Structure formats: C-alpha cells, structure tokens
Amino acid sequence: MNHSDLLLRQQRLQMRSAQLRRTLASQTQVFKTPLAVADQVRAGLQWLQHNPQWPLGAVLVLVALRPRRVVVWGSRLWWTWRTFEKVRNWALSMPSLKP
C-alpha cells in the first residue's frame, strides 16, 4: 500500500467511526427515560437518608390521628417483611442444581 491508499483507508475508517458513534447515540436514547427515573428514585432515597425527621414525623402524626389503622398496617407490613425474609433465606439455603 502506498501513502495515498493509507490516507484513503484512514479517511474511510474515520467516517465509519463517526457513523457508528451516531448510531450508538441514537440507540442509547431508549435508556434515557428509565435512567432518569432511576436517578430521581436515588435522589429521593438520599434525601430521605439525610432528612429522616420528615417520614418519622409523618408516622407520628398518623399514630396520633389514627392509631388503630397504623397498628393494623404496621402488623401487615411486619408479617410481609418476615415472610419475605423467610422465603429469601430458604431460597438461599437451597443446594445448587448444578451437577
């Protein structure tokens, strides 16, 4: 190959690379909305972690206004959590199905 062939090949490769970058950019637009939602959820969880007084205050208000309802829902959530933990521990203790 001579110098002009190499320059032509380099130019074609650069054009192909630019086309591939454009294609990749258009294909990744599908992930834009789900990733934005995940970022918002993460930001909300970080806010809750830095401001625990607000959800705690809301729970205390509910306990003061509707104590029976809080006890009923609290027991349901506790039962659900314990069941989930039992199932998870059972699933993790299962022997591997690999030979």
Number of domains in the chain: 1
Could you tell me the pLDDT band of residue 96, with boundaries at 50, 70 and 90? low
38 assigned to some structural domain: no
58 assigned to some structural domain: yes
pLDDT in tens, 39-76: 999 999 999 999 989 988 988 888 888 889 888 988 99
59 assigned to some structural domain: yes
pLDDT of 99: 47
What is the enclosing helix (H) or strand (E) of 36? Answer: helix 32-50
62 assigned to some structural domain: yes
63 assigned to some structural domain: yes
24 assigned to some structural domain: no
DSSP per-residue codes, 4-35: HHHHHHHHHHHHHHHHHHHHHHHHGGGGHHHH
Domain span at residue 73?
52-92
